Structure 1
């Protein structure tokens, strides 16, 4: 019961009083190594990850000793899009931290995940044969079938 009241107290303070919560946008490349530092919080304020059910906190871990927000799971943009975890036009994950002091305030970090060229284009055939005239101008286009590339 005490835990429920504490959560209710935090919820009412965070969501009812603080409609304008700070939001910070961070650009990161997909496929970063695990434990990459994504963000560092202010050392004078203690934060904790806060799961509201609408965020993606499972992708990070927070080290309260030094204020580092670290990557805990692989960020593969193509996989996230295939799972509808983000939109394919702009891949964003929302991370939420709460200030662990009164007044409780929520800090939203929005990770904008940039696509890197980590997939090789594929063709339906491994070999193509075509005739090309001698002395064609630079930039002459050769017709090939369409290639598929998993990168967005």
Structure 2
């Protein structure tokens, strides 16, 4: 029985080694290094948060192939990134470029932070400048006088 379990285990392990692995031949080491950098910087259009180097989706395989082809034909990094952005949009970049379409993305968080600070300052300023309240009762002088007046009316009845 142990021999059969061991045989099945060996078959399972050996089938993993037959899985497809992308292997690309590069003309020089500089292209290999550029391939690795660009593949890590470009996001897979199908996968939400994986770059094309880590993704196993068919589109990522196609993008890796296209990246290899463009590197070997002599395209520079900007041309490759422009091609990918033209084809798939700014989504393929982990760090989108500064443009009219991405101003909100770049400046939105800072604007919201500043707006939040302004709101907090305005609200706290109104509380401080509002009626001065007694720390023991939490009532202002005007509210104390009104309460005393109402209590006197109630006692008179």
> TM-score, structure 1 length as denominator?
0.21
**TM-score, normalised to structure 2's length?**
0.20
From the two aligned structures, give the one with the greater strand fraction.
1
